């Protein structure tokens, strides 16, 4: 059974934190689906990931192509992920269901700490998932490094 990891992003841009988490997931041999609620935002993120440093290249693709099932990292707005991910990374308040948390190795929910709506959405997701019996951890970077602040 997996767990939901909530990342309260306050110091670095979300795309930097996401890239770090994606890199760590690939090092563990996990395929990843990155779910966002807005296609334009995922297009922007796709470009950021392609333009990243060469030594930090993250092989990925946007959902809807003929090689979706082969992508180590698949950026999507859909709940279905044809790349058979072990990890789901959720951005911008996109939905996640308790059965996904149970089925996957890990669900990472990243939210912008400077955006009050994003914080409220993450709090709602925390309540929904923990009330459904999902294990959850809340991580904050307020001190300048990631620290676990809560666990359920």
Q: How many CB atoms lie within 10 A of CB 135?
A: 15
In the chain, the domains with their CATH numbers are: 3-151 (3.40.50.10110)
Report the pLDDT value the prediction gives residue 55, as an integer from 0 to 100: 64
Q: What is the pTM of this model?
A: 0.93
Q: Of all residues in the chain, what percent carry a pLDDT higher than 70?
A: 97
Long-range contacts of 81-84 (CB under 8 A, 24+ apart): 81/33, 81/35, 83/31, 83/32, 83/33, 84/31
59 Cβ contact list (under 8 Å, min separation 6): 26, 71, 72, 73
Q: The tokens of 49 are what?
A: 């990931």
Residue 32 forms beta bridges with which residues? 73, 87
Q: How many CB atoms lie within 10 A of CB 131?
A: 10
Question: Would you place residue 27 in the very low, low, confident or very high pLDDT band (cuts 50, 70, 90)?
Answer: very high
Report the pLDDT value the prediction gives residue 104, as an integer from 0 to 100: 97
Report the pLDDT value the prediction gives residue 47, as an integer from 0 to 100: 87
Report the pLDDT value the prediction gives residue 35, as an integer from 0 to 100: 97
Question: Would you place residue 103 in the very low, low, confident or very high pLDDT band (cuts 50, 70, 90)?
Answer: very high
Taking a C-beta distance cutoff of 8 angstroms, is the pair 117, 16 a contact? no
Q: Which of 11-25, 50-64, 121-135 has the highest mean pLDDT?
A: 121-135
Taking a C-beta distance cutoff of 8 angstroms, is the pair 100, 87 a contact? no
67 Cβ contact list (under 8 Å, min separation 6): 61
Give yes or no for residue 52 having a pLDDT over 70: no
């Amino acid at each position: 059974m997996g767990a939901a990891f909530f990342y309260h992003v306050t110091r670095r841009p979300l795309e930097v934190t996401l890239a770090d988490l994606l890199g760590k997931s690939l090092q563990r041999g996990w395929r990843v689906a990155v779910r966002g609620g807005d296609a334009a935002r995922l297009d922007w993120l796709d470009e950021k990931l392609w333009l990243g440093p060469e030594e930090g290249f993250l092989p990925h693709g946007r959902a809807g192509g003929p090689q979706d099932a082969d992508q180590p990292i698949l950026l999507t707005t859909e709940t279905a992920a044809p790349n058979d991910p072990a990890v789901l990374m959720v951005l911008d308040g996109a939905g996640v269901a308790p059965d996904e948390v149970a089925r996957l190795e890990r669900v990472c929910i990243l939210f912008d700490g400077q955006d009050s709506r994003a914080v409220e959405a993450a709090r709602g997701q925390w309540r929904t998932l923990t009330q459904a019996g999902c294990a959850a951890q809340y991580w904050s970077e307020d001190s300048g490094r990631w620290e676990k602040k809560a666990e359920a």
